[in-house]
Amino acid sequence: MRVLMIMGDFRIGGAEIAALGLIRALSGRGCEFVVATARSKGPMKNAFVRAGAQVYDGIALWRYSPIGLLRIRRIVHRHDIDAVVCVDALRNGMMLAFVGSAFTGRRRLRICWCHGAPGLQTDDFVPALRRYRKMGLLDAVTCVSEFLRGELTARKLPGGIIDVIHNGVDLKRFENPAKTSLQLPAGKRIIVQVANYVPWKDPRTLLAAAGNLARKRRDFHVVLAGRDTNCPALARRVDELDLGDFVTLADTRQDIPSLLASADIVVLSTCCETFGIAVLEGMAAGRPVVASDVAALREVFDDGREGLKFPVGDAGALSDALDKLLDDAVLRARMSGEGRRRARQFDITRQAKLFHEFLLRQAELRKIADTSR
C-alpha cells in the first residue's frame, strides 16, 4: 500500500514523532510512504528521508493555498497513492489531504489520524470532519486514546468511523543509548521533563515545585527539554524563583533517549494530554515517572505502580512526589522495572501492526462501498 502522509511541518512534536516511528516500523513491510508538509519548518525532514519516505516540504505557500492543492494532486498521481492520511486535524492539512486528493482519477482512501484534543489543544475541528464526511471526502478517523475518542464523539462525530490505536515507542532506541552531550551537574539527581513550550503544557508548575524543593534540599537538578523551553518567559521565571543553580532550559534536543538515560526521574507537568508519548519514553528508558493526573495518562500508567500522579497545577503535590522519589531508591527501582514492563505493551511493532490492519480494513470497506453503488 502506498500511503501519503500530510503534516503541517517538520518541527518536533508528538504527532510528528509518532508518524516517524510508524514509517520506520512499516517501511518495507508492504507499505511505501510519501510525506508532504504545508510549511518548510523544523529539523525532522532528514529523519523521515532516512526512514525511507519520499519527502515534499513547503507545498503550501499560504494557508488554504490553491497551489498546495494542485501539488498534492500531482504527488498523488506521481506515486499512485492508495491512502491519504492527514496527520492531526490541522485545518490546512485537512484541506490539502481531503480536497487535494479528490478528483484524481480513482478513489483514494482518506483518513484523519487525530492526536490533538478539539477545543483543548486545538480549535474545534470536529465540525470540519463532519463536513468532509458528508461530502464523501473522509472515510475514517483513528485517534491515539480512548479519551480522545470520547472528546470526538461528544462533539457528535459518529463513533462508527473512529478507531483507537495507541501510539507506540521504539524500545530499541532506549537500549544502551550514548551519553548525552548536555552538561549536567555532578552529584545531583536529575529530573527531566521533555515537553515543547506550548499553551497546554505546564512547566511553570514544575518550576514552582522545584522552588519548593530548593528551600529544603540541594541534591537535585531539573532539565526542561523541548521546543522553546529556553524562551525568555521561562528564563525570567527561573530567575524570579532563584533557580539558576537548579534548572537547565535545554530547548530542542536530538538525543532524548540519552537524556532520559541520564535522568533519575521523568516528569510531565501538563494541563491536557491525548496520550503522553513523553511519559511512555520515560518508562521505556526505565525511569519512574511523575505526571499530572489527566484522563489520557490513565491509559498509559497507574499511579503508585510505574510512577506517581499529582493534581493538575498543584506544585505542592508535585514537589511532595519528587521529594518522596528522591529519598527512596528502592521505590525508584521498583517503579523503573514496572515502567519498562508496561512500556513493552506499547512497542512500536504492535502499533504498526494495528495501523496496517486498520488501513487494509478501511480499504476493503471502501471497495465494498464503491462496488455496491
**What are the chain's domains?**
2-168+348-372 (3.40.50.2000), 172-344 (3.40.50.2000)
Cα–Cα distance measured from residue 187 to residue 171, given in angstroms and rounded to the nearest whole number: 28
pTM of the model: 0.93
Is the Cβ–Cβ distance between 104 and 26 less than 8 Å?
Answer: no
Residue 176 DSSP label: S
Amino acid occupying residue 263: A
Distance between CA atoms of residues 129 and 133, nearest Å: 6
Spell out, as residue ranges, where the chain has pLDDT lower than 50. none
DSSP label at residue 227 = T
| pLDDT, tens only, 118-163 | 988 888 999 999 999 999 999 999 999 999 999 999 999 999 999 9
CA distance 208 to 242: 11
Q: Can you read off the three cell numbers belonging to residue 320?
A: 511532595
Helix H or strand E encompassing 15:
helix 14-26
The predicted pLDDT at position 276 comes to 92
For cell 513523553, the residue is 278
pLDDT at site 103 = 80
Q: How far is the C-alpha of 171 from the C-alpha of 169, rounded, in Å?
A: 6
User: Which H or E element spans position 69?
Assistant: helix 66-79
Q: Which three cell numbers stand for residue 255?
A: 538525543
Cβ neighbours for 252, distance < 8 A, ≥ 6 positions apart: 12, 43, 225, 226, 227
State CA 188 to chain mean position distance: 29
Place of cell 495501523: 355
Predicted pLDDT of residue 373: 58
Q: How far, in Å, CA of 329 to CA of 238, rounded?
A: 28
